[in-house]
Amino acid sequence: MENTKEPSCEEVNALAGATLLEFGASWCGYCQAAQSTIHSELTQFPQIRHIKIEDGKGRRLGRSFHVKLWPTLIFIKDGVEVARLVRDIQPSELKSALLSLSDR
């Protein structure tokens, strides 16, 4: 995953606008399988910030969001969670969640 520094819970809560937090692990097969769907849908929503977070044992941010399975996608608008998708990411559900963040 791309991010090396995990943001703090306070930093995430202070984010203005639309943000997709993607919790997972680079070695996770479910995470790898979801990447094409995530990237395909996100290209339609360039205004949504996407933060990939390498999750695992001892990672506080994942615990603060009660992440138990990967990938977990958490959709946040102005620091408030508005939707969540876990593991089996379907394109239609992902698009609906992205629309809930979008100003469209």
Domain definitions of the chain by residue range: 9-101
CA distances from 3 to 43, 51, 59, 60, 92 (A): 19, 7, 13, 15, 26
Which token pair is 84? 């969540």
What's the CATH fold of domain 9-101? Glutaredoxin (3.40.30)
What is the b/e burial string over 76-90, where b = at least 16 CB atoms within 10 angstroms of the residue's CB? bbeeeeebebebebe
Q: What is the pLDDT along the chain (104 residues), one digit of tens a residue?
A: 444 578 889 999 899 999 999 999 999 999 999 999 999 999 999 999 999 999 988 889 999 999 999 999 999 999 999 999 999 999 999 999 999 998 75
- Are 45 and 75 spatial neighbours (Cβ–Cβ below 8 Å)? no
pLDDT of the residue at 6 = 80
What is the spatial distance between Cα 25 and Cα 59, in angstroms, rounded to a whole number?
Answer: 11
